[in-house]
Chains A and B, each alone.
Chain A
Amino acid sequence: MTAASVARRKPMSENPDMGHPSGFSGDKKSNGAVSLPRMLVRSLKFRRARSLSALAALTVSAMVATALLTLYADLDAKLHREFRSFGANVVATASGAVALDEGMLRQVQGVVGADVTVAPIAYAVATTDRGTSVVVAGVDFAAMQKLDSWWKVDAWPAGTNDALLGQRAAGFIANEREVTLSYAGKAVTLHGAGRLSTGGDEDSRIYVPMAAFTAWTGVQPTVLEMQVPGGAERVNAAIAALQRAMPGLHVEPVRALVAGESRIVDRTHSLMYGAMLLIALTVAISVLATLSASVLERRRDFALMKALGASQGQLIGHFLLEALVIAAAGGVLGYVLGSGVAWAIGEWNFGTATLPRVSLLPVVLALNLAIAAAAALFPARVLRGLQPAALLKGE
């Protein structure tokens, strides 16, 4: 019973709202002349197909602009991130009496910032069980794994006594499982965890955990390999900061890497810029052409309104407003879609998300409004000389 009464009463309770005097006041005010907003709503509603196609064109233009601009803004950071796969871009060598111990490492990390990977390396020349001289390097395997993503390793050593054998060095070792090495008369037996192949100098070396290395040889690290994220400015800043804070260190950029990186990033940047301009121009001109053609097509509406007493200014205002409303809607819609496209491309191509940039919304909206305004005003000149009577007659 209650349910039925509620159901019956519900529309009733809404009635007062609908019939509220204030609801009519807007209509009453505009009784004399047809109000602009109302004409606009009607025009958009009754010419739905045409409005939708204009909306689609403007949405696509905003979408393409947003996607390209978002990617463009993020491009440098993304490319620099890819270049980190080349490994260290700064190398610091301890000269003289400076020892790169734990405290020093922490100090270095403090100077360059926490996002820089710092890998200390110590070298010694030891003798294998076959009597061949071989370079043994003491390293922090966790840092090396982060730094040298190109290393092809059977298995990264996990134990405190595990060694990684360069594939050429491995050829000079009799027992690869139990590697016996001697340095300055001190022998040590390490567990060979696997082979390392890089095609570079690393192939001729044996890598040993730092703790085991210092306990065996007593040699402190002399080289710090560092991977500084970002472009050349960031690298130079890090080098300058290190040189100021630690004059005992000889800090050098890996020059070929840093120079090549900024050049390729710059080139790609310019290429993207050119592509963006080209596409933006295409879209803008095509949308302009389509929209102005559809305005021209409405010459009859135009003539009718003129015959009913509308002034030239009112008419152009009407067309302009209509175009701008569609452009704004298309701009917002296109911004959302374009941000999605940029996110998908970032995720798919670079493996990292490209986050939407709110700062682009006004830019995209302004671009869209400018195109729409141009499209509405362009035919105005043609329409001015129009004879309503002749057109309405069908000539």
Chain B
Amino acid sequence: MFLRLLWESFARQRRRKILAGLAILLGVTAVTAMLGLATTIGDRIHQELAVYGANIVVYPKADTLDVKVGEQSLKPATGNAYLHEKDLEKLRGIFWANNITGVSPELRASLLFARGLDQRTISVDTVGLWFQHPFGSGITGAPQLHPSWHLQGAWPTPHPQVKDGQYAVVLGSTVAKRLGAAIGDDILLGDSHVTFDSTSPTPAIAADHAKVVGILNTGAAEDNEALLTLADMQDLAELPDAVSRVEVSAKTRPEDAFARRDPDALSPKDRDVWYCRPYANSIAYQIREAIPGAAAEQVRQVEQSEGTILERISGLMWLISAAALLAAAVAVSAAMATAVLERRAEIGLMRSLGASKGRIASLFYAEAGLLAMIAGVGGYVLGSVIAAALTASIFGQAAGVALSTTMLHAFNPVLLPVVLALALIVAVAGSTASIRSALRMDPSAVLRTGA
């Protein structure tokens, strides 16, 4: 009987149900979409902030001092402390390995460049880097960590055989201008243990041949540099497996007071908590543990500022979600209250036919609950799709995410029970006041006047 009443109520009062259901549907849609955006905004903004470069830097502990001002080195780094390239694999074994989104090792040395043997020779800061290097399940390297680099041509590839064939090199725009070299040109480069001295006469260099495969324009220090693959650079500098510095880009949690504590001074329990939170400091600490002889540190300019911006933008999204929730709650409870008030005559009839107040109330609550469930699921689907479409259209181009791939990840299963529970609570709470006031009325009076 109860189920039949419920069924008939939905089947016969379609207009009213649609009205109340529409309010719930829209409310849940807005809340789901906002929550969906708020929970993923952190990752998106982190991707966008990647233009500012790595937030953790790793260098050998026994390093020498860089004598470097702005864009140019005043003295070549003559240090002889290096990290091992093969140790970088260990980064994948640290606790927060999954938060590491990019790794870019580099090896620097000054090399001599010339268009030909009898041409002007210039000394150029040359950097060996990873390009399209497989790391874990993805591909990483310098271009991934520096999306703002503007390259004409192609990234260098390791040259096929040692001491045979040509090295592939990318020149910074200023270097290319000074050399008068263009893409496709052959140039000579020499390994050099010379000091920084651009007036040195054309040396009899044991020249290697290289091909210019690209010109890089960054508006920063790289314009004055030349780029090779790390393997070639190690070969040229005769430093196998050596890496002088590693840039690491990691998803981190904004720093708070606890993050700034010294882990070695914490109690074992606090230390575990500190260790298991993705602070830049704890990731740097784990990298120090994993790679022997390494010092790792957060790049404060990037990390601190990113933290603030991430916090502000996601804070804003959460607050807007709260606004959406409030608006949806008011709208849904108003719609539910109206739906019950409209049916006072029905309640009066049921009362006069002998239904107990409890039975009537439970019928109405069951209706509200069922409506909340149906409209809630619809709103969840609609809201997830809207959130995915918004994300794809706003962040899509830069992150290289197509609409179809965002749609695949659109449905966050954790959100479904959350929004359904919210819809249920709001629908039941919204109808409670009017159900109670309707039940308090004298059935005969309601039946006589009620329309």
In the assembled complex, the Cα of A174 lies from the Cα of B343 at a distance in Å of 88
A297 and B330 in contact (CB under 8 A), knowing A259-B51, A274-B390? no
B65 touches A60 (CB 8 A): no
In-complex Cβ contact of A282 among B26, B68, B395 (8 A): B26
B23 touches A279 (CB 8 A): no
Task: Give B1-48 interface residues, CB cut-off 8 Å to A.
Answer: 19, 22-23, 26-27, 29-30, 33-34, 37, 41, 44-45, 48
Asked if A118 lies at the interface with its beta carbon under 8 angstroms from chain B, I say no
What A residues does B319 contact at CB under 8 A? 345, 348-349
In the assembled complex, the Cα of A96 lies from the Cα of B52 at a distance in Å of 31
A264 and B297 in contact (CB under 8 A), knowing A133-B75, A285-B22, A289-B335? no
B74 touches A264 (CB 8 A): no
A200 touches B300 (CB 8 A): yes
What A residues does B327 contact at CB under 8 A? 60-61, 64, 279, 282-283, 286
In the assembled complex, the Cα of A255 lies from the Cα of B51 at a distance in Å of 10
In-complex Cβ contact of B312 among A57, A199, A286, A350 (8 A): A350
B48 touches A57 (CB 8 A): no
B63 touches A271 (CB 8 A): no
Asked if B441 lies at the interface with its beta carbon under 8 angstroms from chain A, I say no
A286 touches B27 (CB 8 A): yes
Asked if A178 lies at the interface with its beta carbon under 8 angstroms from chain B, I say no
B315 touches A299 (CB 8 A): no
A275 touches B320 (CB 8 A): yes
What B residues does A135 contact at CB under 8 A? 66-69, 74
Question: What distance in Å separates the Cβ of B36 from its nearest Cβ neighbour in chain A?
Answer: 11
What A residues does B342 contact at CB under 8 A? 293, 297
What B residues does A200 contact at CB under 8 A? 57, 299-301
Interface size on A, residues (CB 8 A): 79
What B residues does A112 contact at CB under 8 A? none
Closest chain A residue to B306, Cβ basis: A86
Task: Give A268-288 interface residues, CB cut-off 8 Å to B.
Answer: 268, 270-272, 274-275, 278-279, 281-283, 285-287
B326 touches A290 (CB 8 A): no
A169 touches B65 (CB 8 A): yes
Question: What distance in Å separates the Cβ of A211 from its nearest Cβ neighbour in chain B?
Answer: 20
B323 touches A53 (CB 8 A): no
A267 and B394 in contact (CB under 8 A), knowing A68-B320, A132-B65, A255-B219? yes
In the assembled complex, the Cα of A201 lies from the Cα of B450 at a distance in Å of 81
Closest chain A residue to B336, Cβ basis: A290
A391 touches B451 (CB 8 A): yes
Asked if A129 lies at the interface with its beta carbon under 8 angstroms from chain B, I say no
B338 touches A293 (CB 8 A): yes
What B residues does A101 contact at CB under 8 A? none
Binding site for A on B (CB under 8 A): 19, 22-23, 26-27, 29-30, 33-34, 37, 41, 44-45, 48-49, 51-53, 56-57, 63-70, 74-75, 146, 148, 218-220, 297-301, 303-305, 308-309, 312-313, 315-317, 319-320, 323-324, 326-328, 330-332, 334-335, 337-339, 341-342, 386, 390, 393-395, 398, 448-451
